[in-house]
Amino acid sequence: MQIKQFLGSTVLDKNANDVGKVNNVDFDPATGKIEKITLTLQKNIFSKDELEISFEDVATIGAYVILNKEIPKEEEAETVEVEIEDADEK
> The domain that contains 15 carries what CATH number?
2.30.30.240
pLDDT in tens, the chain (90 residues): 677 778 889 999 999 988 889 999 998 999 988 899 999 886 655 556 888 999 999 999 888 999 998 887 654 444 344 454 554 555
pTM exceeds 0.85: no
Number of domains in the chain: 1
Boundaries of domain holding 43: 3-89
Compute the C-alpha angle 32/38/41, nearest 5°.
160
Distance CA 72, CA 41 (A): 12
